[in-house]
Amino acid sequence: MRVSTPRMGNLPLIVEDLACRFGIDYIEPPVFSEETVRIGASLAPEFACLPLKAVVGTFVQALEAGADTLLMGGGSGPCRFGYYAEIQRRILEKEGYRFKLIILDPPSTSLKAAYSGLRSIVPPDVARFGTLVRELRRALAKVVVFDEIEKWGLALKGREAEPGSVERAAEEACSVTAAAFTGKEIRRARREVQQLFENVGLDDDRQCLRIGVVGEIFVVLEPYFNFDIGNWLGKRGVVVERSVHIADTAYPGGRNPVFGYDERQVARAAAPYLTHEVGGDGLLSVGATAIFARRGFDAVIHFLPFTCMPEVIAKSVLARVSEEMGIPVLSLTIDEQTGRAGVETRLEALLDLARSKRRRETIPLEGRFSTSPTGDLSLRGGSQPP
């Protein structure tokens, strides 16, 4: 098998690690480009959401590069994502590609289906049950560290004294983490990563805005589609925190170790505005915005792919959250036509608004917040920026 997967944020790093653990021949999907989007948009239905189009484009490029097995996540619930693997299979087969598609259902949907999906890639003669579980636990621990690197980078970039120092620390942190294999090595790598970020010089006098980023996971995590929002804001002296991380979606039991709030806390924060699941990350977008508002953030940026039903619901609810909690929320709808200039103009207007409305007080939520070198970004129990 020559296996490939969709690309999304840190995902290639994680799949590469798993491939190495189980001796799988992995073809890394190409980075997103205009060509990827052009291929996807020309093959996928016009009103499908952007992730479907982007993944179809990626799969075509991966198959052209020699992959013969494609891995795709499954799902259930109100979002269309659960159908996407099958739709992608039909689109690609119609184009004449021959390949094997393995659907990995999340354990929360069906433990049996998740296990059988895994076993199609890692058969028992490659890894017995005990080995499989041990290696998956190690990989999950590593995913948390990769996500923490992103989280800490976003928290510190806007405050770095020397431009580029956070990027350098993050690059080194990624190589240190990628090289760790056993549980002990991963724990040591995490300490080294913390040290690298602690060594970054900060400008304590800079008056930084604090902005939360929420929305649909694919657009929030993939810099090509969110116009590298973390870097863009960081260069303008903004401290950024994201509600969505790969580790949180993969972590059993909805604990969200990187964001720092478990699913019940998010649902409680969203409850005055939205009381039930709407699919995708819709409920998380609303709950996280309420949490950011209560923590005194200056604004929230909400990303949604065009025609994404869960986030369209969240967008309409966020208008009320914004008004009642007094926090500016900018919803940015992204599709293959979205241009950088238009997005940047709206972001600049948001920064102007946030500066003029600078909120001075921080209202603690359930007493969980403490002050730290990065203001009240740190959470007891969550992954804290050093």
User: Which chain residues interact with ligand SF4 by CB under 6 A?
Assistant: 49, 51, 79-81, 216, 218, 280, 305, 308-311
What is the dihedral angle through the alpha carbons of 258, 215, 368, 327, rounded to the nearest 10 degrees? 150
Place of tokens 């021949």: 25
> Taking the complex as a whole, how short is the minimal distance between the CB of residue 265 and ligand SF4, in angstroms?
21
* Closest distance to ligand SF4 from the beta carbon of 298 (Å): 27
In which residue are the tokens 């299979």 written? 89
Q: Which residues of 141-153 are buried (b: 16+ CB within 10 A; e: fewer)?
A: bbbbbbbbbbbbb
**Following DSSP, what letter does each residue of 134-183 receive, concatenated?**
HHHHHHHHHHHHHHHHHHHHHHHHTTBSSTTHHHHHHHHHHHHHHH--SH
Long-range contact set of residues 73-76: C-beta below 8 Å, sequence gap at least 24: 73/6, 73/103, 73/104, 73/105, 73/106, 74/103, 74/104, 74/105, 74/106, 74/109, 74/113, 74/117, 75/105, 75/106, 75/109, 76/109
Nearest to ligand SF4 of 72, 144 (CB atom): 72
Q: Which residue is nearest to ligand SF4 (CB)?
A: 280
Burial of 362 (0-12, 13-18, 19+ CB in 10 A): middle
Q: Phi then psi for 276, rounded to 5 degrees? A: -150, 165
Cβ proximity to ligand SF4: between 49 and 293 the closer is 49
Structure tokens at 327: 């926090």
Q: Which is nearer to ligand SF4, 304 or 329 (CB)?
A: 304
Residue number with CB closer to ligand SF4 (81 or 369): 81
Is 84 or 297 the residue whose CB approaches ligand SF4 more closely? 84
Report the chain's terminal Cα–Cα distance, integer Å: 41
Q: Would you say 49 or 127 has its CB closer to ligand SF4?
A: 49
Nearer of residues 282 and 382 to ligand SF4, judged by Cβ: 282
Q: Assign residue 66 a region (left: φ > 0; alpha: ψ between -120 and 50; beta: otherwise).
A: left
What is the torsional sign of CA 312, 221, 99, 110? Answer: negative
- Residue closer to ligand SF4, measured from CB, 81 or 146: 81
H/E run at residue 211: strand 209-215
Enumerate residues 6+ apart whose C-beta is below 8 A from 78: 277, 278, 279, 280, 309, 310
CB of 282 to ligand SF4, least distance (A): 8
Decide whether 131 or 249 has the Cβ nearer to ligand SF4.
Answer: 249
Minimum distance from residue 306 beta carbon to ligand SF4 (Å): 9
From the CB of 254, what's the least distance to ligand SF4, in Å?
17
In angstroms, give the least distance from the CB of 78 to ligand SF4. Answer: 8
CB of 201 to ligand SF4, least distance (A): 39
Least distance in angstroms from the C-beta of 32 to ligand SF4: 15
CB of 82 to ligand SF4, least distance (A): 9
Question: Rounded distance, CA 345 to CA 329, Å?
Answer: 15
Contact 18, 138 (CB under 8 A): no
Q: Which is nearer to ligand SF4, 194 or 331 (CB)?
A: 331
C-beta neighbour count of 84 within 10 angstroms: 23
Q: Minimum distance from CB of 356 to ligand SF4 (Å)?
A: 33
